[in-house]
Structure 1
Amino acid sequence: MIPIPHPLLSLKSPPKTLFAQGDLSLLQAPKKIAIVGTRKPNPYTKLLTHNLSELIAKSGGVVVSGGALGVDIIAHLGAMPRTIMFSPSSLDSPYPKTNASIIKQIYEKALALSEYENNPSPKPYHFLERNRLVIALSDIVIIPQADLGSGSMESAKIALSLNKPIYVLPHRLGESEGTNSLLQDKKAQAIYNLQEWIKEHFGTLFCPQDDEILSFCYNPVGFEVAYQKFGDKLYEYEVEGKIKIENGRIYVC
């Protein structure tokens, strides 16, 4: 059991207890970013969530999420070891079990927290209780993809009630209707360029491995645009597993 972090005390119903496993120094990070979203992200969301989480961690931030399938666990992996997971279950019962191996990594390398001492099988309301802690601990909330009426949209409501700024990824019409509605209602801002967003919030501009090609492609770009600049070198990077060329666009792996 650990002392309740000050940001959680701002909640109407702060946790009475908090159990921890891992690196408690992560709680002292000057900037903590919540990344939460759908359990069924599309390929675009998967790649950008991972890349953004990695950038946040490399820039000195900490990514906070809930360990769930989809966006949550991708965010944890991208930021490892600079990530904090709030569990809807007690820490002796990793949940969901499909993520148990990754959650074990979080226990060993990062930080896991839970307000439950004995809760092996979380009920639906436990997920909402967990979500309030994820949002309250964080300075900024990012929702890469979410449907209307989803748990992620409930998290958005919590963020708005706590005056936490919300950011989302831009999506096409008919996709991620929850985050698109937040944009339409001016309750969230869009992230159009990952590195510019990092520079704005962390004052740094991280270039992967100081590599011109990876830096250029870190925001998914059109293949033709990149090919005009770098030529056949792109195919070498694809073979080496550094980038992925898909549907006429390039993504950093």
Structure 2
Amino acid sequence: MELVRKRLIHLHRCRGVTRKTIRKFIRYDPTLKSIYKLTSTQVSQFFSLPHKNAVLFHSDLRSQELKNQLKRDLTSYKVITVVDENYPFVLKTIKDAPLVLYAIGDTSLLNLDPILSVIGTRKPSREAKLKMEKYVLPLIQQNWIIVSGMATGIDSFAHQMALEHKGKTIAVLGSGFRHIYPKQNSALFKQIAINGLLLSEYTPNSPPERFYFPERNRIISGLSFGTLVIEATKKSGTLITVDQALDQGREVYAVPGSPLLKQTEGCHKMIQDGAKLVQEADDILEDWDRIKPNWVI
């Protein structure tokens, strides 16, 4: 199993292939050993891969520089793969589950519950922190783990609130660990590394890409039994996470607010569409008590 794990991490580092392709590799050969013996033409033919992608993959697979970088990263960061015993079971239940996760911090948090994702706009209203004190702080004080994406605004507030009140928090990044985004959250990154957990499915040298952020949202919602939206505009990226949470069969909660604020328009639309309106933290606590007997983490 250790060899399979190492091969999976190696394949995940190679260019030219996607998670979908790697899943095809696993179905073709669960040991992944035979993939190393294929020519680029065979890779292209067997796995319906464009030839230029197969050539790039074949080249990376044999790159000593890539292997050396991988060795350095494995000594610097923890790595969790889908074949590991400590891989979060709840993530195995979602579509397109991450195959490899890089981690800094306390990975035992992945095996605790309850975990709630707290998300929202990058440009919150002046009321946002008061809302979080009302709805999120009581959960932190009862040892709930708060997951978010370390973006500016609501995400940052959620992580900071957990840290300030000696709670636990998990940040799922849309970049590699050597490219902290946004840069102004470098101090927050370091705090979470010491007192929480940082996760990324992107290799440490991966700079942020626009499509990484909506992509990583499936992990934020997938780790959690529910997602709480504090504030969101009508066209907020937050709604992508909400859609993924619903697709994953997770609970979705929305905080109402003044109809005069654009930051509450998205929440009101979500409530119209069936999200649970939250008036007290107890609304979420009571839901968890109901769900907990059937929740497997």
Q: TM-score range by the shorter chain?
A: 0.7 to 0.9
1:61, distance to aligned residue in structure 2 (A):
1.1
Q: TM-score, normalised by structure 1?
A: 0.74
Aligned equivalents of 2:138, 2:271: Cα separation in 1: 23
> Cα offset for 1:47?
2.1
Q: Find the counterpart in structure 1 of residue 268 from structure 2.
A: 180
Q: How far off its partner does 1:121 sit?
A: 2.2
Look up the match of 1:242. none
1:45 partnered with 2:128: yes
TM-fit CA distance, 1:114: 0.5
- Alpha-carbon distance, 1:163 to partner: 1.5
Q: Looking at secondary structure, tell me which structure has more helix per residue.
A: 2
- Report the CA distance shift for 1:142/1:193 in structure 2 as closer, same or farther (over 3 A): same
Contact 1:51–1:78 (CA under 8 A) maintained in structure 2: no
* 1:191 pairs with one of 259, 268, 278: 278
- For the 8 Å contact 1:90–1:114, the answer to whether it is kept is yes
Matched residue, 1:2? 80
1:13 aligns with 2:96: yes
2:175, 2:209 within 8 Å by CA — same for their partners in 1? no
Aligned to 2:224: 138
Deviation at 1:93, TM superposition (A): 2.3
The answer for the alignment partner of 2:147 in structure 1 is 64
Aligned to 1:36: 119
For 2:267 and 2:94, locate their aligned partners in 1 and report how far apart those are by CA, in whole Å.
24
Q: Which has the larger radius of gyration?
A: 2
**Conservation of the 8 A alpha-carbon contact between 2:117 and 2:226:** yes
Matches of 2:232 and 2:271, distance apart in 1: 12
2:157 maps to amino acid: I
2:138 equivalent among 55, 60, 80: 55
- Any stretches of 5+ residues in structure 2 without a counterpart? 1-78, 82-86, 290-297
The equivalent of 1:92 in structure 2 is 178
SS state at 2:80 partner: coil
Distance 1:198 1:10, change over 3 A: closer
Deviates more, 1:70-79 or 1:120-129: 120-129
TM-score if structure 2 supplies the norm length? 0.64
Structure 1 residues without counterparts, runs of 5 or longer: 204-253
Report if the CA contact (8 A) 1:50-1:74 is conserved.
Answer: no
Deviates more, 1:7-16 or 1:30-39: 7-16
Number of equivalenced pairs? 201
Q: Residues 179 and 206 of structure 2 are in contact (CA less than 8 Å); yes or no, is this contact kept in structure 1? A: yes
1:100-155, CA deviations, whole angstroms, 9 ceiling, x for partnerless residues?
10111001111100101134421111001111100001001100110112110111
Question: How much has 1:192 moved relative to structure 2?
Answer: 1.1
SS at match of 1:64: strand
Match of 1:103 in 2: 189
Distance, in Å, in 2 between the alignment partners of 1:180 and 1:198 is: 18
Please, which of 105, 112, 117 is the counterpart of residue 198 of structure 2? Answer: 112
Measured in 2, the distance between the counterparts of 1:161 and 1:179 equals: 18
Whichever residue aligns with residue 98 of structure 2, its letter is P
Contact 2:135 2:280 in 1 (8 A): no
Aligned to 1:228: none
Contact 2:171 2:198 in 1 (8 A): yes
| Paired residue secondary structure (1:2) | strand
| Distance in 2 of aligned mates of 1:25 and 1:51 | 28
Deviation of 1:199 (Å): 4.6
DSSP 3-state at the match of 1:18: strand
